[in-house]
Amino acid sequence: MTTHTFFCVDGHTCGNPVRLVAGGAPQLNGADMVEKRAHFLAEYDWIRTGLMFEPRGHDMMSGAILYPPTRPDADIAFLFIETSGCLPMCGHGTIGTVTMALERGLVTPREEGVLKIDTPAGLVTARYSRNGPYVDSVRITNIASYLHATDLAVEIEGLAPLTVDVAYGGNFYAIVDPQPAIRDIADVNPSDLLRWSPKLRAALNARYEFVHPENPAIRGLSHILWTGAPTKPDAHARNAVFYGDKALDRSPCGTGTSARMAQWAAKGRLRPGDDFVHESIIGTLFRGRVEAAAKVGNHDAIIPSIEGWARMTGYNTIFIDDRDPLAHGFQLADKA
C-alpha cells in the first residue's frame, strides 16, 4: 500500500478552476509532449482521475502538471489534465497556470514578460503583465486555429434538427449558432445545455470524423460551444462551452475563443489585427485578437491570442492513498 502525495496550487481563471500540480508527478518517457502525453495516458491516468474527479475534485475541475520542456525554445512544459481527459491544449488552464507559477516562483522565464510553453498541441507563447508580486493579466498566443467543417447536420433527442460548424482551437469544437432549435443560451437553462451536449457530441462523433490534418494523434470532437448575444457592452459574443461529462466552462474558454475566432475569420467576419471580446456564461471576458493568417494542412487558419486573468485561492497537498477505495476518483453518471 502506497500514499502518493501531490503538491498543488489551486486557483481560477475568470471563474473556472485551475489546479496546478507542482510536485509529485511521475517522470514520463518521450521525445516531445505528444509522446509524454501518450505515456501519461497509458500508465498514469489514475492521477488525472484522482485529482480531477470527486472526492478530491469536481465536475468542473481542470489543471496542469509542470514538466521540463522537451524543446530548446520553451521555458517550461504543461501537461493538461481535466475531467474530460488529457487535452492537447487548454486556454484558461494556461492563463491560470502561468499566473500561479510566476507568482509562486515555480518558473523563471528567460525573457521577463514572456513565457514560452511546450504543450502537446505545440509551442504556446504567454505574455504577462506584472503588478509587484502579482500577475494582472496573461495573453497567450495560441496554436494555429481553423474552421474544420461547416453546416454539419445532426439530430438529437429533445431538440429539433441542428446544424453546426466545427472549428479547431487546440481542441475540436462544435459551434451551435442561433437557429430555430435554440436561438440564444439566454433562452435556456444551464441544465438544458448539460442534458443536450453529451448527446450532440456523441451523435457528431458517430456520424463524422474529426482528425487534425497535421497531427493525427489529435482526433475526436470533445467540446460543444453554445452561443448567444453578449450582455456586456464591449463583448462581441457570448458562449457556454460544455466539456467532460457534466461541465460548463465558467470562463469564456481559451481554446473555444480561438475556435470561434477561426470560424468568424473563415467567414470574413474577422481579419488579422481585429479584436474579439468573448463573454462567458457568468459574464467574465477574454480579449481575443487575430494575430496573423496561417495554414493548417490545406485549411486557411489564423494565429489567435487570448488575454485573461487568474487568481490563486490556496495551496493544496493532496494524498491519493491506495487504501482508499475511492483513490482514483468517481463521477455520478446518469442512466443511459
C-alpha cell at 1: 500500500
Q: What is the pLDDT of residue 308?
A: 98
CA-CA-CA-CA dihedral for 275, 276, 277, 282, to nearest 10: -160
Same domain, 153 and 252: yes
- Burial of residue 112 (CB within 10 Å: 0-12, 13-18, 19+) is exposed
Task: Say whether both 104 and 162 belong to one domain.
Answer: no
DSSP 111: B
Is 285 part of a structural domain of the chain? yes
Residues 172, 133: one domain? no
273 in a structural domain? yes
Q: Could you tell me the three cell numbers for 240?
A: 457556454
Q: What is the number of structural domains in the chain?
A: 2
304 occurs within a structural domain: no
Q: Using DSSP, how many helices (H) and how many strands (E) does the chain show?
A: 5, 17
289 and 151 in a common domain: yes
The CATH number of the domain holding residue 183 is 3.10.310.10
Active-site residue (options: 8, 14, 86, 90): 90
Distance of alpha carbon 35 from alpha carbon 217, whole angstroms: 10
The total of other beta-carbon atoms located within 10 Å of residue 321's CB is 14
Residue 43 placed within a domain? yes
User: pLDDT truncated to tens, each residue of the chain (336 aa)?
Assistant: 799 999 999 999 999 999 999 999 999 999 999 999 999 999 999 999 999 999 999 999 999 999 999 999 999 999 999 998 998 899 999 999 999 999 999 999 999 999 999 999 899 999 999 999 999 999 999 999 999 999 999 999 888 899 999 999 999 999 999 999 999 999 999 999 999 999 999 999 999 999 999 999 889 999 999 999 999 999 999 999 999 888 999 999 999 999 999 999 999 999 999 999 999 999 999 999 999 999 999 999 999 999 999 999 999 999 999 999 999 999 987 765
CB-based contact 319:155 (threshold 8 Å): no
Structural domain includes residue 307: no
Name the residue range of residue 97's domain: 3-141+312-321
Q: Within a domain: residue 98?
A: yes
Q: Are residues 162 and 230 in the same domain?
A: yes
137 and 150 together in one domain: no
Same domain as 287, residue 153: yes
Whether 292 and 153 share a structural domain: yes
Residue recorded with cell 499566473? 99
Mark whether 136 and 16 lie in a shared domain.
yes
**303 within domain boundaries:** no
pLDDT digits (tens, 9 = 90+) for 71-118: 999 999 999 999 989 988 999 999 999 999 999 999 999 999 999 999
The answer to whether 192 and 240 have CB atoms below 8 angstroms apart is no
What was the pLDDT predicted at 245? 86
**Is residue 123 located within the same domain as residue 175?**
no
Whole-angstrom distance, CA of residue 56 vs CA of residue 326: 10
How many CB atoms neighbour CB 87 within 10 A? 25
**Going by C-beta distance under 8 Å and a sequence separation of 6 or more, which residues neighbour residue 253?**
16, 91, 92, 223, 225, 239, 241, 278, 280, 286
134 and 254 within one domain: no
Q: Are residues 154 and 131 in the same domain?
A: no
- pLDDT at site 57: 97
Who contacts 216 (Cβ-Cβ below 8 Å, separation ≥6)? none
Sign of CA dihedral 42, 47, 53, 58: negative
The conformational region for residue 283 under phi > 0 = left, psi -120 to 50 = alpha, else beta, is left
According to the model, what pLDDT value does residue 336 have? 56
Is 86 marked active-site? no
Q: Is residue 329 domain-resident?
A: no
> Of the listed 8, 14, 86, 253, which one is catalytic?
253
45-76 pLDDT, tens digit each: 999 999 999 999 999 999 999 999 999 999 99
